[in-house]
Amino acid sequence: MRNAQLTMHSGRPAALCIVLLAAGLLAAACAAAPTPGPTPAIPTAAATLPPATATPTPGPLTVTVIADGQTRRFALPEPLTVNELLAQAGLTVGEFDRLDPPPFTRLADGAVVTLVRVRQTFEIEQVVVPFESQTLKNENLPADSAPLILQPGENGLEEVTYRVVFEDGVQVSRSPIRRVPLKPAVPQIVMVGIQRPFTAAPISGTLTYLSGGNAWLMRGNSSQRTPLTTSGDLDGRVFDLAPDSGWLLVSRAVTESATTFNALYALSLTAASAISTPVSLPVTNTLYAEWSPTQTVTLTVAYSTADKTAGALGWQARNDLWLLNWSEDRRTRRPVFTFDEILPPSFSGAYAWWGTGFAFAPDGLWLAYAQTDSVGVVDLATREKVELARFTAYNLQSDTRAWYPTLRWAEGGWLYTLVHGGPLDQFELPEFSTVFNLVAIAPDSRLQLDLVPRAGMFANPVPSPAGSAATGERPARVAFLLATDPKNPLLTPYRLAVMDRDGSNLRVVFPPEGQPGIEPGVVPAWSPDGRLIALIYQGNLWLLDPGSGESQQLTGDGLTTRVEWGR
């Protein structure tokens, strides 16, 4: 049989050709068959072949590339990523170049690719640093007086490195990334008068106070005021007048140091007719410092330190105790400092990070100490601690605050302080007890007198100075702050109260009834003769007579935070 051939012509259906071929083959088979039989059913091409379908051919994609100041359009036979398109276009992407959309984005028809060329350079310049102007308020000058320049300002100089960024050749930013000081700027200090019509009051002895970060001095009367510093950087942690009123011990804040937050200085008050030149003492990071009451040729300062930390509080107390002895070399006239460690650092105990308070006994042989859970004394000769009272530490529920009581000595060796008492009822935990009792303790016999129950956690008792009752006209007394709401020890206002040293004759003397109370933390100061009290009220210095109840405002700037009164 001859081979059959199938040729596809344009316009003739393929199914018809198959039917004709099948018919021819069937006829030949029937003629050759010896015995006719039933004719089988022949399936048609339509029953065995699926209908033909047309496959659409995708058209080209059109995308636009904007780069190097040109706009180019490309017809793509198939979708590409941004990276693939740029490679075909011969474009490279630099380290800082900006590409939109991102490089691995698959492009659709009509997409726009933008390539921005980014370049950066560095420039170094010397830049003038303008000096700052600091204003020192002086209530000794009339408010309408011309400002006085105490220190002329001087510009500084620094080397600044700038990072300059260009996009497609156009500068878009210029920012400093490094500064190197070459010469510090000297601030201009201007004194302005803010004198108010306060009547001048006589001042016995030496009255010093801290206002606006500066130390001030009053002698003779309250109108005679002398600024001891003008830097405005006293942090108030240390502010102690020497027993002979010849020196004032202060601490100055240090800001540009990774390891130091303050430094200790002494201000001479012997010729306080002008701003005093602070004497730098070789002590830093001080939480407590106090002059010894028994000064000789050698000046002695007790102090305790802390470590600067990166936490919210900014420091962690070391709970150490040192004596700094300050003398002068007779040949060179230079200061000579020696150190004596009394207590080594200690980091154990309840809220030890807050530190320890200290106070010299009148004879200079002992130092009282106060921690968050105990009160005692330190024998400077033996370096031994003797605990006098123990109590549950008060829980302020804070990582940046804790509490220990203030300490004040009276003549005769009595120590006036506070102790945290037990809870008022069974539903109050001891650590949250709101009971703070004012007590007097005799260290030699350990006798404790409970003088004022629930006085308040910031009662801050201060006995009148030794010898103030020598004539018998004024009995030895204790000034302290009395809480108006003992159940709210942290926020309650206080009133100044005075009592005899045995707790009798207690009376509230300031402020007058109906006036706002005294803020927590204020410590009163007795005059050298024990007749008057200096007190900070609403940020201003006040003078009052606890006997008559008369009071007089001395300052009006609202910036006073500490006061010391000596002979």
- Contact, 248 vs 269, CB < 8 A? yes
Locate tokens 């400092």: which residue?
337
- Contact, 281 vs 323, CB < 8 A? no
The larger pLDDT score, comparing residue 197 to residue 447, is at: 447
Interval 491-505 mean pLDDT = 96
User: Quick one: pLDDT at residue 10?
Assistant: 39
pLDDT tens per residue, range 401-443: 999 999 999 988 999 999 999 998 888 899 999 999 999 999 9
Quick check: bond before 103 cis, omega within 30? no
Interval 256-272 mean pLDDT = 90
List the one residue out of 419, 459, 415, 450 whose CA is nearest residue 435.
419
Least confident of 13-27, 156-170, 287-301, 441-455: 13-27
List the one residue out of 375, 372, 457, 462 whose CA is nearest residue 416.
462
Sketch the domain layout of the chain as residue ranges: 61-116, 121-183
Burial 508-517 (b: 16+ CB within 10 A, else e): ebbbeeeeeb
Residues 6 or more apart whose CB falls under 8 angstroms from that of 446 comprise 388
Interval 454-465 mean pLDDT = 97
Residues 6 or more apart whose CB falls under 8 angstroms from that of 558 comprise 538, 539, 540
- Contact, 267 vs 247, CB < 8 A? yes
pLDDT tens per residue, range 339-355: 999 999 999 999 999 99
Strand partners, 420: 436
Predicted confidence band at 224 (pLDDT cuts at 50, 70, 90)?
Answer: confident
- Contact, 233 vs 252, CB < 8 A? yes
Percent share of the chain, pLDDT over 70: 86
Residue 457 has pLDDT above 90, yes or no: yes
- Contact, 297 vs 328, CB < 8 A? no
Predicted confidence band at 4 (pLDDT cuts at 50, 70, 90)?
Answer: very low
Residue 123 has pLDDT above 50, yes or no: yes
The larger pLDDT score, comparing residue 322 to residue 1, is at: 322
CATH of 121-183, one of 3.20.20.70, 2.20.230.10, 1.20.1260.10, 2.60.40.10: 2.20.230.10
User: Quick one: pLDDT at residue 276?
Assistant: 65
Rounded CA separation 242/205 (Å): 12
Burial 441-471 (b: 16+ CB within 10 A, else e): bebeeeebeebbebbbbbbbbbbbbeebbee
User: Quick one: pLDDT at residue 194?
Assistant: 74
Rounded CA separation 162/285 (Å): 36
Q: What is the DSSP string of 473-535?
A: SS--EEEEEEES-TTSTTT--EEEEEEETTS-S-EEEESPTTS--BPTT---EE-TTSS-EEE
pLDDT tens per residue, range 48-58: 445 544 445 55
Least confident of 3-12, 156-165, 250-259, 274-283: 3-12
Predicted confidence band at 503 (pLDDT cuts at 50, 70, 90)?
Answer: very high
Rounded CA separation 225/207 (Å): 10
Rounded CA separation 79/90 (Å): 18
Residue 189 has pLDDT above 80, yes or no: yes
Interval 188-210 mean pLDDT = 87
CATH of 61-116, one of 3.10.20.90, 3.90.110.10, 3.40.50.800, 1.10.10.10: 3.10.20.90
Interval 319-325 mean pLDDT = 98
Rounded CA separation 463/421 (Å): 22
Predicted confidence band at 23 (pLDDT cuts at 50, 70, 90)?
Answer: very low
**Does this model's pTM top 0.75?**
no
- Reading across the β-sheet that carries 533-537, which strands appear in turn? 525-526, 533-537, 540-544, 551-553
Least confident of 6-15, 398-407, 432-441, 462-471: 6-15
Mean pLDDT of the chain: 87
User: Quick one: pLDDT at residue 45?
Assistant: 41
